[in-house]
């Protein structure tokens, strides 16, 4: 009686088949990992873009709100009785723009005014907003500094007079007495030149 010899396949997979399966799984795993890595990279890039958008929006909103509340209140020099105009732009070596603004919320009831002296300056680290706790400050009064925006190439301001003439500086003259100390422009144009977005221009109309 002849017995049927068992096939070599009855015992399971061959070594070659196992090697092929392992190779297939390895290729699939590499492709899946590459796809996940790319997806993660795209997600991180999108999050960075959103963070940048929020940063730019907050900075533009802060500048707009500040300028919309410019108050005609001149301040005194830290030394002497000389007065500084309520709004001064393009004439300071340190600050691009310095002004007095209203609407400084004081919900905690701190011993300070609701008016605030604000200065905008630009350095290699970005655009900064400085403010002082008092208006007529002394030399010992140091400003509170906050960086509004990074990656800024330049910032410029233009001032529209009541006669509809654009000026590069304010006040228009160099007088430090009389009504020129409290005179405000009709509008201020702000131009931000960003490293990634290029130029952003905003026109803010001043009340009064």
Q: What is the CATH number of the domain that holds 89?
A: 3.10.610.10
Instruction: With CA atoms as reference, report the closest residue to 116 among 71, 85, 81, 62.
Output: 71
In a domain, 2, yes or no: no
Q: Taking 60 as the threshold, does the pLDDT of residue 7 lie above it? A: no
Range of the domain at 85: 64-205
In a domain, 27, yes or no: no
In a domain, 187, yes or no: yes
Q: Provide mean pLDDT across the span 168-184.
A: 76
Q: Taking 90 as the threshold, does the pLDDT of residue 39 lie above it? A: no
In a domain, 19, yes or no: no
**What value does the mean pLDDT of the chain take?**
85
Residue 51 CA: distances (Å) to CA of 54, 56, 80, 124, 150: 5, 9, 45, 20, 12
Q: Taking 60 as the threshold, does the pLDDT of residue 96 lie above it? A: yes
Distance separating alpha carbons of residues 188 and 5, to the nearest angstrom? 98
What total number of domains does the chain contain? Answer: 1
Instruction: With CA atoms as reference, report the closest residue to 180 among 85, 90, 73.
Output: 85
Distance separating alpha carbons of residues 72 and 182, to the nearest angstrom? 5
In a domain, 9, yes or no: no
The H or E element containing residue 87 is strand 87-89
Q: Taking 70 as the threshold, does the pLDDT of residue 139 lie above it? A: yes
In a domain, 23, yes or no: no
Distance separating alpha carbons of residues 89 and 171, to the nearest angstrom? 7
Q: Provide mean pLDDT across the span 100-124.
A: 82
In a domain, 124, yes or no: yes
In a domain, 74, yes or no: yes
Which residues are CB-contacts of 125 (< 8 A; sequence separation ≥ 6)? 147, 150
DSSP summary character for residue 180: G
Q: Provide mean pLDDT across the span 151-158.
A: 96
């Amino acid at each position: 009686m002849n017995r049927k010899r068992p096939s070599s396949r009855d015992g399971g997979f061959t070594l070659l088949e196992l090697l092929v399966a392992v190779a297939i799984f390895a290729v699939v795993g590499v492709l899946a990992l590459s796809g996940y890595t790319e997806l993660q990279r795209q997600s991180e890039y999108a999050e960075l873009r959103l963070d940048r958008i929020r940063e730019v929006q907050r900075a533009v909103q802060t500048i707009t709100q500040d300028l919309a509340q410019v108050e005609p209140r001149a301040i005194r020099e830290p030394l002497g009785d000389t007065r500084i105009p309520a709004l001064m732009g393009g004439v300071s070596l340190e600050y691009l723009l310095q002004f007095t603004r209203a609407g400084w919320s004081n919900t905690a009831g701190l011993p300070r005014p609701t008016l605030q002296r604000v200065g905008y300056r630009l350095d290699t680290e970005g655009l900064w907003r400085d403010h002082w706790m008092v208006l007529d400050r002394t030399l010992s009064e140091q400003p509170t500094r906050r960086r509004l925006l990074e990656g800024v190439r330049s910032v410029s301001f233009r001032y529209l007079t009541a006669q509809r003439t654009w000026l590069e500086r304010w006040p228009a003259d160099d007088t430090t007495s009389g009504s020129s100390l409290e005179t405000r422009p009709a509008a201020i144009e702000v131009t931000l030149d960003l490293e990634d977005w290029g130029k952003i221009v905003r026109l803010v109309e001043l009340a009064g």
